[in-house]
Amino acid sequence: METSIIIAGFGGQGVLFAGQLLTYAGMDQGRHVTWIPSYGPEMRGGTANCTVIISDDEIGAPTVARPDVAVALNLPSFEKYEPLVKPGGVLIVNKSLISEQSERTDIAIVEVRANRIAKEFGSVKMANMAALGALLAKRPLFSLDDLLQTLHDHLPKRKHNLLEANKLVLQHGYEVGMETAVPA
């Protein structure tokens, strides 16, 4: 099975790290993976996105025009990627920053107030973890415990003081995703 994921938002929202974390989790599970980052020269505050592919088999091409899953952390990302999600796919929407509603009925939509959850547990900079938790609730690429272990193993040492808070945000995002997932 192969799953393509696009994570998008503003620079500074942890878009690239969220993609790296999924990639590391796939690698740790012995799967084939690709991770391609894309960001503007201004990085913080500019647009950022990354494409992740996780597969049981070799990956033919690392590019994705129509993802199976899109994570939109801000309104411009929602507007760009919502129409591109494949029918039967999943759209994770950060309702803290996106008030628009999707009109699509052919995809599952998970609405999570990622910024609010992250702020509740310490810092809005962890909103990416809330979104990843919600993603995993709807598209279980691996277990929540596996992703928590990957976070422990791959969070940069300089950020280890935030490890437990990140784990809590990830778990809470997962719980919210399980409660609010709307089936396609």
Position 41 scores a pLDDT of 59
Which of 74, 156, 67 lies closest to 114, judged by CA? 74
Position 45 scores a pLDDT of 59
- What is the tally of structural domains in the chain? 1
pLDDT at 85 over 80: yes
pLDDT at 184 over 60: no
Which structural domain, as residue segments, surrounds residue 90?
2-180
Tell me how far apart the alpha carbons of residues 82 and 72 are, in angstroms, rounded to a whole number. Answer: 8
pLDDT digits (tens, 9 = 90+) for 123-150: 888 999 999 999 999 999 999 999 999 9
Cα–Cα distances in Å, from 169 out to 61, 93, 134?
33, 16, 10
CATH assignment at residue 86: 3.40.920.10
pLDDT digits (tens, 9 = 90+) for 21-41: 999 999 999 999 999 998 765
Q: Are 16 and 8 in contact (CB under 8 A)?
A: no
Among 46-50, 73-77, 85-89, 175-179, the minimum mean pLDDT is found in: 46-50
